[in-house]
Amino acid sequence: MYICLCKGISEAQFDEIIDQHQGCLRRIAKTMGLDESCCGRCEELLPELIANRVDTDSLLPAS
Ligand code: FES
């Protein structure tokens, strides 16, 4: 599944970007390359997608 069709970012790539930037919305959007040429559809969902990812991580056992 693709999170961002405009930039061709898959769910796996998106998860890596979230982890890389520790959930920082501004840095995640910058790394994804979102700009005025994009439709903005995924941008509206980013806070929820990030929160879901962070919640999932907190459920994993500590290693
Ligand atoms: S789908 Fe991500 S900006 Fe269009």
What's 24's DSSP letter? -
Query: Is the per-residue pLDDT at 2 higher than 90?
Result: yes
pLDDT > 70: what percent of the chain? 87
Q: pLDDT, tens digit, for every residue of 14-52?
A: 999 999 998 899 999 999 999 999 999 999 999 999 998
Per-domain residue ranges of the chain: 2-59
**Separation of CA 61 and ligand 1 centre (Å):** 33
Distance CA 53, CA 57 (A): 6
The rounded distance, in Å, linking the Cα atoms of 38 and 5 is 9
Q: From the CB of residue 34, how many other CB atoms can be counted at a distance below 10 Å?
A: 19
For the chain, how big is the Rg over CA atoms in Å?
Answer: 12
Over residues 42-51, the pLDDT tens digits come to 999 999 999 9
Q: How remote is the CA of residue 5 from the centroid of ligand 1, in Å?
A: 5
Average pLDDT, the chain: 88
Indicate which atom in ligand 1 lies nearest the CA of residue 32: 2
**Considering the entire predicted model, what is its pTM?**
0.80
CATH of 2-59, one of 3.30.70.120, 1.10.10.1100, 3.40.1280.10, 3.40.30.10: 1.10.10.1100
